[in-house]
Structure 1
Amino acid sequence: MASETQVILVVDDDEGLREGLSRLLEDEGYQVLCADNGDRALEIIRHTHIDLILTDMRMPGMSGIELLKNVRAVNEHVGVIILTGYGEIESYIEAMNFGAMEYVSKPFKVNELKFIVNKILNRANVVSQERG
C-alpha cells in the first residue's frame, strides 16, 4: 500500500482497460485520474500534480511516445510507463530514449504491473526525500 496518497494518471483510449487499471491502482491505495487521449492527459498534467503516468502506446491522435515527449517538456521528473499490445523494438528504444521508465506488453500480469508501479513510486519517494 502507498503510505501517502500518490497520484497516477492512466491514459488509454480503451475504456475497459482504463477502468480496470483505475480499480486495480485504487485498491493499492493510489489516487487515480484517467484520460482517454493524449490531449486530455496533457491538460490534466498541466494543472495537477502527477506522480506516475501509465499510457498506451497506440491511441488515436497523439501516440504514447508523443505524449511522453510532451510530458517531458512540462515535467521532466514524472515517471512514465508505456503500455503496448505491440512489442516493437524500435518503439521500445524510442520510449526509453525519451525517458520512459518501463515498457510493458499487453496483456500484462497484474502482479507484475503492481510491482513495477510500486518500484517506480518508491524510487521517486527516495529521490524526493534526498532532495528535500
Structure 2
Amino acid sequence: MSDQRLRRRSLALTSLIVLAVAGVGIGAVASISRVGPEDAATPRAHAAHSVATRVVNMPVDGMVCLSCAATIKQKLKAVEGVSNVEIVFAQRLFRITYFANRPDVPRRAAAAINNLGYKAGAPVQIR
C-alpha cells in the first residue's frame, strides 16, 4: 500500500474513533436489559429480578468502534445465564450480570468474545 493510502486509512480510522467517543461520551455506560420495563409485571421478569446475580467486568482488546461493541454485546446477551450486558466503551470493557447458579458464564462469555476475533481479558468480579 502506498504511504498516501495508509495515511488516508489511518485518518479515517481516527475519525471514526473520535466520532464514536463523542457519540458515547467519556465514561458513558450503555445498557439494555433482557427484561425490559414493559415486562416488569410478568412472572418471568419478577423471577429474574429475585434470583441472585453476580457481576464481572471483562476487558476486550480489539474493540475500536461502536459497531464492534454492539456485535460483542449481542453475542454476550445470547450466552445462557447472562441477565444483562452493559458497555463501558471508554474503558473498553463489558459489565456482565449473570445468574449466580451459572458460575461458568464468565468463561463462556470470554470464549464467545474470542470466537468473534476479539481478545477477552480476565474477568474481574465486582459483585
Normalized against structure 2, the TM-score is what? 0.28
The higher radius of gyration belongs to 2
Name the structure where strand makes up a greater proportion of residues.
Answer: 2
Normalized against structure 1, the TM-score is what? 0.27
